[in-house]
Amino acid sequence: MTVRPVVDADAKVWDLAATVCDPEVPVLTLEDLGVLRSARATEKGALVEITPTYSGCPALGVMRDDVTQVLVENGYQDVEVRVVLSPAWTTDWMSEDGKRKLTEYGIAPPDPAHRRQGPRFGGTPVALAVKCPHCHSLDTVEASRFGSTACKALYTCKSCLEPFDYFKVL
Amino acid sequence: MSAFESATRISAGQALTAEDIAAAGLKADEPVARYALRLADDSLILAQQLSWWISRAPEIEEDIALGNIALDTLGHARSFYTYAGTAWGKTEDDLAYHRDEGDFVCAHLVQVPNGDFGQTIARQLLFSIYATLLYEGLAASSDPTLAAVAAKAVKEVEYHVDHAWQWTLRLGMGTQESAQRMQAGLNIVWPYLEELFEDDELIEELPGVAVRPSTLREPALAAITRAIREAQLEIPTTKTAVTGGRKGLHRESLGFILAEMQVLARAHPGATW
């Protein structure tokens, strides 16, 4: 889980890092996404920890640069942005505000109820409907489990006929 | 910001750099590094093979799916290489681009040519089920770095299994042509399955750290045979091949894969893009 620090100096670093948005889903901040792990003011600068959503996510490098930049612009001289892998990121860390913003942006947010149930492999997962972010219809169909990025699946709405991304539960 | 240069860099920032691991004060022991190298080589060669499909798959959604799966496995390779490299003072790029064929310790399964789409899916079915069980076990490793990479990877490869399983069903129960080609693909990859479950001296050196491959055999075979039966296909009877990938003995195909993958990095050492 990600928690804003209680010490003022650290919280200031957190709040600055939290202004950085995901380059691929620009309505979400790193805080909304749950990839901002910790923030700390150091003697001469700041130390921020972030975590990747997926192992190969190319957005991570950009997030790291952007966090560095915003802190440097705000006077922190010695900025370090560390990548931490453990514990592994889960979509459960996405904030409720983030899920709302995703929907408004046209991406269906991850729903923990869609997490795989039943046998370890195969089987037919219970097909809980994904709600269309455009017309809110539940009459939607998965076009591809892998969408424009690893974190999203591609859906089509059978009511409004619009395609849309679904942020997969991980 | 970083003095560490990488040919796989996407921007000035790195996904997981040698420096991150060094900053955490980590240095893999020699046997752990050799084990991490196996995991990395399997993932990298598979990623390279899968990426060939981008723009060539039967439909655009499939270009994207196989591209995403390749990206995930490339991510796993990068983490394992970075960790392995701490033992020898080498970067992920040193290990990926500047080792020769005989230095690679990947299994033969990932080197099997893509073949047609059915053959690629057959390879994916076998490998992704194996990988899910492997990473599930490795997430409990006494080595915290391996455990962290694996805990992340397991959730991703589960999606890869789903993808391969669904295509196996669709092709197996599709047309006569699709069933025949899916069956042919399974027959071709089947001889390379057993190598994934072989224990050896290195595994004996790493109790509690490595996952013992032989322990994955039963659950992997159970899942694979279930998928094949559900798809109304036959369990292949093709014989187990003589392999030796973990010892650096490879199929002819690995040389071609490496030639294509390494040519640019070797022609322009230290290049970044």
Mutate to test the interface with A, among B83, B124, B155 (most CBs of A within 10 A): B155
Chain-chain contact of A61 with B65 (C-beta, under 8 angstroms): no
Q: What is the pLDDT of residue A1?
A: 61
Is the pLDDT at A117 greater than 90? The verdict is no
Token readout for B10 is 């996407």
Yes or no, beta carbons of A86 and B144 under 8 Å apart = yes
B-chain residues within 8 Å CB-CB of A57?
Answer: 15, 71, 75
Residue owning tokens 């990600």: A2
Q: Cβ of B12 and A149 within 8 Å?
A: no
pLDDT reported for residue B19: 54
Residue B2: its pLDDT value, please? 36
Give residue A149's pLDDT.
86
pLDDT at B120: 98
The pLDDT profile of chain B, 273 residues, written as one tens digit per residue, is 333 333 333 333 344 555 565 556 678 999 999 999 999 999 999 999 999 999 998 888 899 999 999 999 999 999 999 999 999 999 899 999 999 999 999 999 999 999 999 999 999 999 999 999 999 999 999 999 999 999 999 999 999 999 999 999 999 999 999 999 999 999 999 999 999 999 999 999 999 999 999 999 999 999 999 999 999 999 999 999 999 999 999 999 999 999 999 999 999 988 876
Residues of chain A in contact with residue B157, where contact means CB-CB under 8 angstroms, are none
Return the closest-CA partner of residue A53 out of B66, B133, B35, B68: B68
Instruction: Measure CB to CB from residue A88 to each of B75, B132, B155 and give the nearest one.
Output: B155
pLDDT (0 to 100) of residue B13: 35
> What is the rounded CA–CA span in Å between residue A4 and residue A10?
9
ipTM of the prediction greater than 0.90, yes or no: no
* Long-range contacts at B3-9 (CB < 8 A, ≥ 24 apart): B4/B91, B5/B270, B5/B272, B6/B91, B6/B92, B6/B93, B6/B272, B7/B93, B7/B97, B7/B264, B7/B265, B7/B270, B7/B271, B7/B272, B7/B273, B8/B74, B8/B78, B8/B92, B8/B93, B8/B96, B9/A61, B9/B272, B9/B273
Could you give the CA distance from residue A93 to residue A32 in angstroms, rounded to a whole number? 8
User: Could you tell me what percent of chain A has a pLDDT over 70?
Assistant: 96
Tokens read off for A42: 């150091």
Mind telling me how many Å the CA of B102 is from chain A's nearest CA? 27
How far apart are the CA of A97 and the nearest CA of chain B, in angstroms?
25
The predicted structure's pLDDT at residue A124: 61
Q: pLDDT (tens digit, 9 = 90+) per residue, A140-163? A: 998 888 888 888 999 999 999 999
B184 CB-contact burial (10 Å; exposed 0-12 / middle 13-18 / buried 19+): middle
Q: Give the CA dihedral B97, B98, B102, B107, nearest 10 degrees.
A: -30
Q: How far is B155 from chain A (nearest CA, A)?
A: 7
Query: What is residue A126's predicted lDDT score, i.e. its pLDDT?
Result: 61
Give the DSSP letter of residue A169: -
Closest-CA residue in chain A for B74?
Answer: A56
d(CA A3, CA A19): 15
| CB < 8 Å from A in window 111-130 of B | 129
Q: Which residues of B touch A23 (CB under 8 A)?
A: none
Q: Do A83 and B17 touch (CB under 8 A)?
A: yes
Q: Please spell the DSSP secondary structure of B198-266, one letter per residue.
A: ---HHHHH-TTTS--THHHHHHHHHHHHHHHHHTT-PPP-PPPPP--GGGT---HHHHHHHHHHHHHHH
pLDDT of residue B270: 80
Lowest mean pLDDT among A1-15, A56-70, B16-30, B252-266: B16-30
